[in-house]
Amino acid sequence: MSDSIAYTQVSSWIHDFKELTKVRLALSVVFSSIAGYLLGIDTFNMGHLVLLALGGYAMVGASNAFNQIIEKNLDAKMKRTKNRPLPSGTMTTSTAFAIATLLTLIGLSFLFIINPITAMFGAISIFLYVSVYTPLKTITPLSVFVGAFPGAIPFMLGWVAATGSFGIEAGTLFMIQFFWQFPHFWALGWWLYDDYKEGGFFMLPTGKRDKGTAIQIILYTIWTLIVSIIPALGVTGDLKLSIVSAVLVFILGLIMLFYAIKLFQKRETKYARQLMLASVFYITLIQIIYVSDKYIRIWF
């Protein structure tokens, strides 16, 4: 009986930890970082890759934990978040703070072992997310703009971890994920508008699910598409993309743009959800295409 109780307690703690650190979001960030690392390396270093993955997860997990501590009372008002560990009472605020602090120290340490500049960008990311983006969410729609900066760091961070420097290549990877943030999070804000409203969050650029918001979503989708194929022009240093891969990226961008236009035409919640999902597939698939393109060109 005692073994069964212990197992239940451990299982419950693991569940709460995964919720506190937003495991799926954290893993997607780690995926982006690894993609950037594979694009930047000349010689593979398994130790650095492991440190990047663990350090990256720790930093994102810490950011999410601090975010949930700050938004504990607001999360309790929303259907989507009311069952998280803090608003539901399955974890205390002091425990969450201890976990967040420990993850921050672990994350920064692991990233610093790779190189100091990687740790610096990791620190900037967690500071902007927790100290600037999170408080602004209940004040102004510009929070999405501020949040796009830490949100765009992972893809670039992998390149910096691989090379130890920030140049045109890392900057391009940053810009791809930076512009992508806007259609992605505005689609999410449109889809979950009523829930966000309950929590007092301002996520849409006009504050409403209207034509103005839909137009901005289309414009930023176009910018995302354009920036994503720039490496094919040969102007981004060692970051290159073949014409074939650029065409594939362009097609994926057109698919995302199709859903953005559909949202503009219909302005219905279901189309916002479709665009949000399309944006997730877009950023994931173009990262796979970028990495695959590099190694196909090397090997063949």
pLDDT of residue 9: 80
Single-letter amino acid, residue 89: G
Residues 6+ apart with CB under 8 A from 232: 240, 241, 242, 243, 245, 246
Largest Cα–Cα separation, the chain: 66
Q: For residue 292, how many other CB atoms are within 10 A of its CB? A: 13
pLDDT of residue 3: 66
Whether the CB-CB separation of 232 and 245 falls below 8 Å is answered with yes
Length of the chain: 300
- HEC profile for 116-178? HHHHHHHHHHHHHHHHHHHHHCCCCCCHHHHHHHHHCHHHHHHHHHHHCCCCHHHHHHHHHHH
Distance CA 171, CA 121 (A): 13
Residue 236, φ and ψ in degrees, nearest 5: -120, 40
Whether the CB-CB separation of 259 and 275 falls below 8 Å is answered with yes
Distance CA 27, CA 229 (A): 25
Note the pLDDT tens digit of each residue in 45-66: 999 999 999 999 999 999 999 9
Query: 97 in helix, strand or coil?
Result: helix
pTM of the model: 0.94
Distance CA 265, CA 196 (A): 23
List the chain residues with pLDDT less than 70: 1-7
pLDDT of residue 2: 64
pLDDT of residue 7: 66
